[in-house]
Amino acid sequence: MRADLAAVYGEERLPRYTSYPTAPHFSPAIGPDTYARWLAELPAGASASLYLHVPFCREMCWYCGCHTQIVRRDDLIAGYQRTLRNEIALTAETIGRRIKVEHIHFGGGTPTIMAPEAFAELMATMRQKFFVLPSAEIAVEIDPRTLTADMVEAMRLSGVNRASLGVQSFDPVVQRAINRVQSFEQTASVVNMLRGAGIEGINFDLIYGLPHQTVASCLDTVRRSLALAPNRFSVFGYAHVPDFKKHQRMINEAVLPDGLARHDQACAIANALKEAGYVQIGLDHFARPDDSMAVAFEQRTLRRNFQGYTTDKSEVLLGFGASAIGHLPQGYVQNEVQIGAYAQSIAAGRFATAKGYGLTDDDRLRADIIERIMCEFSADLGDICARHGAEAGAMLRSAARLKPLISDGVVRLDGDRLAVAKDSRFLVRSVAAAFDAHLDPGKQLHSRAV
């Protein structure tokens, strides 16, 4: 990474582009009736991926940017699971057939907070209402501090084959500052349990830019993580947005690394993982060369959705649960964020869609360009525009933010083909933003570019 460019562009607040347009542009004009119509219009040969949001944790991690709440009563979790099952049934009934499913992802919160038998029932409902392919990837996000052997067994019997473990940092000073004390031994024990159950796909989530974090502590976390040999790493920069996430006010801003320090930490982690043989994939993922994600990156079939980088090729993502987002050919939908409002809608037999966005032809064109930039650090604008019936020259003329990036050597333009310079790939979000017609730089809605 070039430190001079990090200083120029690193403080800018930009989307991670897990969708285009991004969620702040969703509108309440898209509601339950629109979603029902979009589901009924899905073509006969469509396949889908499923995302289930479980918005509960036993305690709050102060860095968290997710929609979740602290819960002590297990009956609330059980009631929520029943609501999820009812929403799944309503969705399948509206589609009118058992649509094929290639990916299932449980996110949170802490999905494994459910009772093991409740998790198994939920999986059984999905298999009953949808045609879950034998080859489907079924992934679950896990907090290693609370995972039990009974839940691991339920996951095994339910066909789970990938687990994402929140690690963040093994530095005890950092852990105390973010209210997430998690020992290396706890994490290692969970990895061993999962592999013993035949769940071989292991992902680790790491974060840089946390309070008290240094390059040395980041490298120590990487070293310890490598000893457990996960298949993939996701490495995210901490997004400090206390105006939106009130619990982040518990973090002392005075001990947060500045932009250049974040740049150094990200660079150190990336170099250490690459030296260990992992392939860097897009903005923030690393995978073993034989992992399906590394293969997709090599074959230029990598995709990007609300879970980040993915091998999922489906054009339909069905979201279940409070705050869950779905993506259909017609546009995006998001459920009610408040659990009570979400549950009330489903209990009444109607979708809990609170807002969404109907895609235009221009949105689809720009979404394709942004996805290729985010996934491949390049885009053949001539080819992409031609497929959408547009002209590459006009698209380039509309991308005024691209000019300084070209002048600074971040981007190279060869005819209609755009490529991000290798030493500037950490600014890929800045390049993607050049094609974002909805971006409002004045609103601090997103995380730092570095």
Structure confidence by residue, pLDDT tens digits, 264-314 = 999 999 999 999 999 999 889 999 999 999 999 999 999 999 988 999 999
- What mean pLDDT is reported for the chain? 94
| CATH number given to 21-320 | 3.80.30.20
Does residue 449 carry a pLDDT above 70? no
Q: In this predicted model, what pLDDT tens digit does every residue of 382-441 receive, in sequence order?
A: 999 999 999 999 999 999 999 999 999 999 999 999 999 998 888 999 999 999 999 986
Which sign, positive or negative, has the C-alpha torsion 235, 277, 17, 35?
negative
pLDDT band at 12 (very low <50, low <70, confident <90, very high): confident
**Torsion angle (degrees, nearest 10) of CA 34, 35, 37, 40:** 180
Tell me the helices (H) and strands (E) count for the chain, helix number first.
Answer: 16, 21
Q: Could you tell me the pLDDT band of residue 443, with boundaries at 50, 70 and 90?
A: low
Q: Phi and psi for 297 in degrees, rounded to 5?
A: -65, -45
Q: What is the CATH number of domain 1-20+361-450?
A: 1.10.10.920
Q: Where in the chain is the domain with CATH 1.10.10.920?
A: 1-20+361-450
Residue 241, pLDDT score: 85
Q: What percent of the chain has pLDDT over 70?
A: 97
Cα separation, 211 vs 195, in Å, equals 32
State residue 3's pLDDT score: 67
Residue 259 has what pLDDT?
82
CB 25 within 8 A of CB 366: no
pLDDT score of 4? 77
Residues of the chain with CATH 3.80.30.20: 21-320
